[in-house]
Structure 1
Amino acid sequence: MACIDTLLAAFAEVAVDPDAQLEKHLAAGKRVVGVGPYHVPEELVHAAGAVPFGVWGCVGSSVEAKKYFPPFYCSLCQMTLEMGLTGTLDKLSGMMITGLCDTLRAFSQNWKAGMGSKVPMIYVTNAQNRFIEAGRRYTVEAYAEVKRRVEECCDALVTDEALARSIKLYNEWRATMREFVALAGQHPAEVSVSARSSVINAGYYMDKAEHMSMVQELNAALAAAPVSLSGYKPIVLSGIYEDIPAITAILEENGFAIVADDMAKESRAFSRQVPETGDPLEALADGWCALRADTELFDPRKEHIEQVVELAKDNAAAGVVILLAKFCDPEEFEAPLVKKALGKAGIPAVTIEVDQSTESYEQARTQLETFADLLG
């Protein structure tokens, strides 16, 4: 068994240089399809023999994308389009984009206008009302069109047998990642905030079977080690994404341990379990329709608010850090309600605004240092 530090170093190497991983896939003769945020049926890409490759923007300044977007626009979409317009994603065979929110829908059309046939768009349309049969049937039909577009971009057929195998692999991978998140939360001395982020981010770039095997080895090593929470401040993270180096560094410097999270790029992305029986395309749709408690999805009872409270209680968190993505309307509408519910439950919370184009996080540093002092 490889030691924890060796495994974490391997994940970090992938996470900091996704281009090298992309070249590795291409050198192996694989086609690579970008998968954007989030809840996309990337099993279809895997079943076509191609590699799904996560694209969640990047830290930096938007220049070319500003020709398409107003300044008050989610940086995740701005920076993803910036990557496309500046040639960073030219080696992809396609780009899978959802229409989960107003911003993503507009982004998809700007991608189509700006990128044309250079990196073809595979548009994933989902029924927001997933709780009625009409929504389920709509999703099945939409996924059938996604399957057709994947086959075009990958020049390969997606058979039912191959899709069933991919669904099984992804279910195992997601279960492995849920186990990792729980173990990392109990072992902050071994898995720092930045190391935790690297393990998760590497999964967006690596072959899923290879990544799962390495994470399983890491999980076994962590499970054999004693809990190392003493001296750390256990918190829950809530929001869209955390992997901004400046924020990661501040969390580490102040001794926070992420015992659980509600991040779209992290635990929310691992929450889906797809049925492994019946028609595999319908199973993919059923996996989508079973999703609950998500800010970006139709959630009429606002179950997500109570879920954050329960996460904090169940994991004995001292507090919650809400990383609020700037200009993300669904998150901005709900964040005050989440904070109010946490306050009612007696759980301290702080809201930190994050943006991939922000150059300085000194205000966030002050907020998190004060929060750390509050938690003792």
Structure 2
Amino acid sequence: MSAPTAGLPWRVPGALAATQIVHWGSLFYAFSVLMPAIAAEMGWQRETVVGAFSAALLAEAAAAVLVGTLLDRIGARRVMAVGSLAAGLGLLAAGQVTNLWQLYMVWICLGVVMATTLYEASFAAVTAAFGAQAARRGIAVVVFAGGLASTVAWPLTGAMVTELGWRDACAILALANALCALPHLFLLPRKAQPDTRLVVLQPALVPAVEPGLTDAIRQPRFWGLAFVYAVVGVCTATIAVHLVPLLQERGLGAAATQVASLFGVAQVAGRIMEFLAGRRWSLRATGIVALAIVTPAFLCLASATADWVLAAAVLFYGAANGALTIVRGALPSRMFGTAHYGAIAGALAGCGALARSAGPIAVAALWQQGGGYTSAMLGLAALAVAALAVFVLVTRRA
């Protein structure tokens, strides 16, 4: 059962819902639209340009713990406001690059900025405002809007690149990101205080003294969660990069793009269902059901050729991934408390980000060796089974 939500500061997830669309759309999704234009104008190989984005994801992972610690110490208000301004400066610089090393340097810096502006930072802001028991509801609002970021960013960025060029498009995106500093500064809460209600409401999960990061990483359940987060990261990044060519390999041809677009719609649907079911289902139950759906989805992607089976696999995986985003954001505060949420969630997010940066490369290598995506999809299905088993173990009540 979820905690009552009457009287909660809904301005916080409301503001973050808007800024997450801007930040995710500009820092994450827009790159796939900017990349071909950058490569064409500068004469660089696409793979080389994509390498800058992979470097950004590695930088995000490296910065996750430090940013999480800052979120605990000075609060999301300052961290996210500064991050928004830095995102604006970084995107403005991205539109001025003339050398490959400059492109890599800019995107590595933007990777650090991602850690201060995307989901992990916004989850810390919601947790600080709502407390551990009610944070799930606010997080659901934020990720619901974040699921629309690709739907908004791809066509708008594409139109700007076509009409103005990629350099001016970066300048417009820079302005939008800088403006996000205003709602962050004036609407977000200060740092969270320890949530003593957890001792009464969840005695089996959270100790009376909330552990810091050093204490948390000594616990097997932390590393179990880290493994689950890594598997989810690998699966998500693989779908983002390889779904269209996989569907083309399965014979969908030009329809591959349309079928792949179902993923974003399904994510939003999954988050809506989680929001509605959250009043009756525990986070543990939601996580178990969502992870249980991942394996058959990847098994279908490994071997199916029928259009409707592939479309169903994309829909089911998208819905499961949408629900898992909420579980991933809300679960650390339930298991470890709110006092050190930023550092602990940042460490867990760093594991996911590392896996996210390595996953697509590993799948590409398996594709090269096996002559197709079958072995990679079977491998991901096996990882999903392992993640489900670990999740069941680390979230069970004492």
TM-score normalised by length of structure 2: 0.27
Higher helix fraction (1 or 2): 2
- Answer 1 or 2: higher relative contact order, Cα 8 Å, separation at least 6: 2
